[in-house]
Amino acid sequence: MRPTPPGYQSKLPKMLSSALDTAERVLEYCKNHDLLTDYDAANIEDLIARDEALSLVYVDLQDKDAYIKCNSDEDFEIGINKRHHRNRQRFSMAHEYGHYQLHRSDIKRMAVGERILHRDGEINPVERQANNFAANLLMPEASVRKALKAASNDVATAAKLLQVSIAALDFRLANLGLNNGK
């Protein structure tokens, strides 16, 4: 790579949020823009705040987790249940951000106030994609391993370090084949 001359300013546009269509690309963007947590996961709230087309609101959603809605082609709103624990809110933000990146053209047709975690085992492919996207943003494999090491393989402590729920971390560990950190 050639060195940048002093005073040079690129005329190339900054990376468009629509180019962040994989968790890996989002994490790379976060790394390049100082948007990572202490455990190298996405700082999801700051990431959402940086996108001019997104707004984040905390509302009473009763039994719903979160929603994303399209107000116009350049105006999307992520709503998070203000009653939920902060770690649950973070996963909801990441899940809805996943819909924004992966399913943006379909958001107008999605039900507002969807359920994010389907504990009855029923989940459609679109929701599974958003859940996986969120898990990869908040719990990248290297971050999970780093937190588990710092927590002496105690899942509850590692979940606190990663700022996620124990249930979310257990699910991620199973998906990574780490069998509760062992």
Q: pLDDT per residue over 82-104, tens digit each?
A: 999 999 999 999 999 999 998 88
**Burial group, residue 72, by CB count within 10 angstroms (0-12, 13-18, 19+):** exposed
pLDDT of residue 128: 87
pLDDT of residue 180: 52
Q: Which residues pair with 180 in a beta bridge?
A: none
pLDDT of residue 69: 86
Rounded to whole angstroms, the Cα distance separating 77 from 34 reads 23
Q: What is the pLDDT of residues 1-18, one digit of tens each?
A: 344 455 544 343 344 555
pLDDT of residue 123: 67
Q: What sign results for the dihedral spanned by CA atoms 101, 77, 33, 92?
A: negative
pLDDT of residue 90: 95
Residue 48 falls inside a structural domain: yes
Residue 112 falls inside a structural domain: yes
pLDDT of residue 57: 95
Domain that holds residue 96: 18-117+124-139
Spans of the chain below 70 pLDDT: 1-18, 110-123, 180-182
pLDDT of residue 83: 95
Of 137, 128, 51, nearest in space to 94 by CA: 137
pLDDT of residue 139: 97
Residue 173 falls inside a structural domain: no
Query: What is the domain-level CATH number for residue 107?
Result: 1.10.10
Question: Does residue 63 contact residue 176 with C-beta atoms inside 8 Å?
Answer: no
**Number of separate domains in the chain:** 1
